[in-house]
Structure 1
Amino acid sequence: MRDGESTQSDWELLMTRVPENLTESERKTFLNAINIIPTWEEVDRINLEKLRSLNQPIAKIRAVHTGDPEASKADSETAKGLESELLLARNTRVMLTANLWIGAGLVNGAIGTITDILYKEKAEHTSLPTVILVSFDKYDGPTLTNIEGIPVVPIAPIRRMWEGKSGICSRLQISLSFAWAITVHKSQGLTLTKAVIDLGRKEFAAGLSFVAIFRVRSLDDILFRHFTFNRLQNIKSCIRLKERIAED
């Protein structure tokens, strides 16, 4: 797949992991799985749709910036994993975007569910909460217990700094992002327990399909949105792939 050499039998094997070929009980195991999607438009649509479906008050959390006036416009990659603005609510599925405590499992890519968003009693002209309480799926360290008796971890705002056009910039923000859907690009480097994967209509970047599928350890950990054999065949015609092969 990485080199565009997939065969008909490869495609048939992958098609054993589309919804219609799985049992109902197996499909249910993917209800909380991350959707890996090629385009930001579809990722945003899924995340906002899921957020609305919670029927919970939504907190708009704006980061605090210093330095370059343009700092607020920097994307999350420039700000080292921190978003300029977050929309979060109770029961939101979230992903940690920083390595806070590697030994206990609080690593970039750790997934959990928000149980509470806590603010200071007297606001200080900022929409930043004091902490967000998250119940992580996999975590081995000490926890607090929220009012409902759920073991949770407090995630407080952190600061990241980078070099801007007119000096050092900083962003203070909660290191969380949506974990219902992410782009293939954002998924790079993650190892997921399960994933719902949409390969999209075409391979618009070299290795796109390979990167998406390689986020899990086993084929049984994937649920594919249906795609044609022609989609796999077209990988070889990707201009970026041809450029990479030429470089190799």
Structure 2
Amino acid sequence: MDSDGYSLTCTVTMEWLNSQGGILRKTTHRTASLRLIRNDQREMLIEMHAEKVNVRTKLRLKGISVFNKYMTEGKASIKFKEQNCTLFLSNAPASQLINFLKTIFIKITGQDEKTLKDPLKEKLLENMQGAENISPATSTEINRAKEKALAVSRTTATTPSPSIVRKRKHFSDHTSKVPAAKKLYENPTAGELTEEQAKILNAVLSGKNVFFTGSAGTGKSFLLKKIISALPPDATMATASTGVAACHIGGITLHQFAGIGLGTGTMERCLQLASRGSVTSIWRKTKHLVIDEISMVDGDFFDKIEAVARHIRRTERPFGGIQLILCGDFFQLPPVSKTNDRAKFCFQSQAWQKCVHFNFELQIVHRQKDKIFVKVLNNIRIGRVTDDIVETLKETAKQKIESNGVLATRLCSHVKEADEINDFQLNELKSEIKVYTALDSDGSMTYMLDQQLPIPGKLVLKVGAQVMLLKNINVNSGLVNGARGVVIDFKNDIPVIQFRCGTRYEAKMEKWTIKTSSGAFVHRKQVPLKLAWAFSIHKSQGLTLDCVEMCLSRVFDAGQSYVALSRAQSLQSLRVLDFNSRQVWANTAVLEFYKKFRRTLQDIEMIPLGKKIKLEKKK
């Protein structure tokens, strides 16, 4: 799958209209290749090639309108006004589509207006035999296009239905009104991959079943979003073991996808539940299954859904032939058993050995920049506590980490304890209560939204309330997911927050969207805050906290102390009370798994000096 910017593979519907707007002809190609090219006269064209029917169409990139509102869902449309033709693009890998549209915009913006109106070129356009790929965008072209995009006010762009063409806002090659091109420069697939991340992405795009791991803060979720955006959305199911983790990657919970409830029934019962029409259709259309936070998936449940996949898809290939992309850190939170028996890890399941072929470990920590703190965390992760580590963490107990009226968030081992602290502290404030009720797009989905979103359905605030921001608003100003603040005022019922970083912010309603198992989207609008005197360790997973304290005396699971400590941005933003080395331990089965895991990595990557050989994975 190319991400070069001038090629794209997706589903294409082509629609030709007559002068009255009626449909003359309409064709759909489930898999087609689009290429940006130049003809002999240096004019830009889009070439559409549908291999199955060997159809090749060339359309000149002049007088076009591009509708790009849904490009992050793999959808867009390009209207060619001169030919009265519209290309409706769908099931496109989001990152490919965004790069493709961005290249069109950059190249159109960089064209010379005088050259475009040359009448000699107009006459020569009938000769379209010679063609070459559009050259890569230069930095000058990119900067010119970006300036133009950012200079215009932000507007809404919409992809119309293939059957209904309406006048919508868009970006076009009529430079007097450029529009939502700004959206191209604010896309969620932005950000460069490191070499180790790119290696994993390439393995996924080559069709391999992949498990990648790494300590907290190594960019696992960032890479996972990149992977999802590089795969065709109609055949890709993004899932996670928990609702909050699923929301973070724009997916659903693994239990929702699997359709077998909690999976505690017999194998026969699970197959019966999965054989329902709505569940079966989802299993059969899935070609790529992403599972985040795999450490919290029970091994028995994993075995059952592997058997379900083979049964529903009528093949004995591992996982029914579905490509698996698994991500997580087994040194973090373990699976929770739904029965009285102790849950087993996913790597202890029979399916793991059959299905997982390629393993990777991310090594570079991005969350913490302090090498001393990273070293402390790496040791804590594997249950190793030296005298130096004990001394370092005990020293943090004396630190004053509060500033700008923001108190430290207490991380608790139990959700109930965190809720009790927040309720008590809110009641202690004598100021007026303000209640914010979420606006849900579908009232029947409120319970699911409560389970999957970090944002509460009902938020109660007062002046003086300690809060946490739950969405990236402005990264440059420090308004990021996990930032700590305090309510200092209400302006026309809008809470005004003073953040620890010094920024003030009027917290207006924001939108969260989740995908249901059927592919429909449900959203919630709410003020992006949550009470933050206390937070549970489980709910903090994935967050980066800039002002946090903890007492680890009540931790009850291996990895809990590590998850809590690794939420802190730095040693200077952390306070550990009454630290004791007995509060840190790692699961022996996990230690053994990683020992074998790293030995396998060495076997694959070790290349003898002086020899050029292609190493295959050892059987």
TM-score normalised by L of structure 2: 0.31
State the alpha-carbon separation in 1 of the partners of residues 409 and 465 from structure 2.
13
The structure that is helix-richer by fraction is 2
> Alpha-carbon deviations, 1:161-195, whole Å to 9, x = none?
21235643111111101121122234344444432
The one of 112, 127, 144 equivalent to 2:485 is 112
State the alpha-carbon separation in 1 of the partners of residues 449 and 545 from structure 2.
27
How many residues are paired up?
216
State the alpha-carbon separation in 2 of the partners of residues 73 and 102 from structure 1.
29
Larger radius of gyration: 2
Distance 1:209 1:50, change over 3 A: same
Distance 1:160 1:28, change over 3 A: closer
Say which structure, 1 or 2, has more relative contact order (CA 8 Å, 6+ apart): 1
State the alpha-carbon separation in 1 of the partners of residues 589 and 450 from structure 2.
26
> Alpha-carbon deviations, 1:133-175, whole Å to 9, x = none?
21222255xxxxxxxxxxx421111122212356431111111
Distance 1:230 1:171, change over 3 A: same
State the alpha-carbon separation in 2 of the partners of residues 190 and 3 from structure 1.
21
State the alpha-carbon separation in 1 of the partners of residues 514 and 396 from structure 2.
42
Match of 2:389 in 1: 10
State the alpha-carbon separation in 1 of the partners of residues 400 and 476 from structure 2.
32
Match of 2:469 in 1: 96
Match of 2:414 in 1: 39
**8 Å CA contact retained: 1:72, 1:84:** no
The one of 449, 460, 485 equivalent to 1:87 is 460
Match of 1:137 in 2: 500
State the alpha-carbon separation in 2 of the partners of residues 203 and 243 from structure 1.
21
**SS state of the match for residue 204, structure 1?**
coil
Match of 2:563 in 1: 211
What letter is aligned with 1:230? R
What letter is aligned with 2:586? K
State the alpha-carbon separation in 2 of the partners of residues 243 and 68 from structure 1.
44
TM-score normalised by L of structure 1: 0.72
State the alpha-carbon separation in 1 of the partners of residues 400 and 526 from structure 2.
35
State the alpha-carbon separation in 1 of the partners of residues 581 and 594 from structure 2.
23
CA RMSD of aligned residues (A): 3.1
**8 Å CA contact retained: 2:468, 2:483:** yes
> Alpha-carbon deviations, 1:91-126, whole Å to 9, x = none?
11111111112222222122221123355xxxxxxx
What letter is aligned with 1:187? S
What letter is aligned with 1:96? L
> How do 1:53-64 and structure 2 match up within 5 A?
53-64=428-439
State the alpha-carbon separation in 1 of the partners of residues 537 and 510 from structure 2.
26
1:50 partnered with 2:429 = no
Structure 1: any 5+ residue segments left out of the alignment? Answer: 120-128, 141-151
> How do 1:54-203 and structure 2 match up within 5 A?
54-67=429-442, 69-75=444-450, 78-79=452-453, 81-118=454-491, 131-139=494-502, 152-164=504-516, 167-203=520-556
Structure 2: any 5+ residue segments left out of the alignment? Answer: 1-379, 599-619
Deviating more after overlay: 208-217 vs 174-183: 208-217
> Alpha-carbon deviations, 1:49-97, whole Å to 9, x = none?
2111112232332211123603244236x23x42211121111111111
State the alpha-carbon separation in 2 of the partners of residues 91 and 10 from structure 1.
35
**8 Å CA contact retained: 1:112, 1:137:** yes
Match of 1:226 in 2: 578
State the alpha-carbon separation in 1 of the partners of residues 475 and 544 from structure 2.
14
State the alpha-carbon separation in 1 of the partners of residues 391 and 576 from structure 2.
12
Distance 1:212 1:91, change over 3 A: same
State the alpha-carbon separation in 1 of the partners of residues 437 and 591 from structure 2.
39
State the alpha-carbon separation in 1 of the partners of residues 462 and 529 from structure 2.
12
State the alpha-carbon separation in 2 of the partners of residues 174 and 225 from structure 1.
32
**8 Å CA contact retained: 2:561, 2:583:** no
The percentage of counterpart residues that share the same residue type is: 26
**SS state of the match for residue 236, structure 1?**
coil
Distance 1:238 1:222, change over 3 A: farther
State the alpha-carbon separation in 2 of the partners of residues 169 and 244 from structure 1.
39
Match of 1:143 in 2: none
State the alpha-carbon separation in 1 of the partners of residues 402 and 508 from structure 2.
31
> Alpha-carbon deviations, 1:6-49, whole Å to 9, x = none?
2355335433444xxx3xxx558588112122221111111112
**SS state of the match for residue 42, structure 1?**
helix
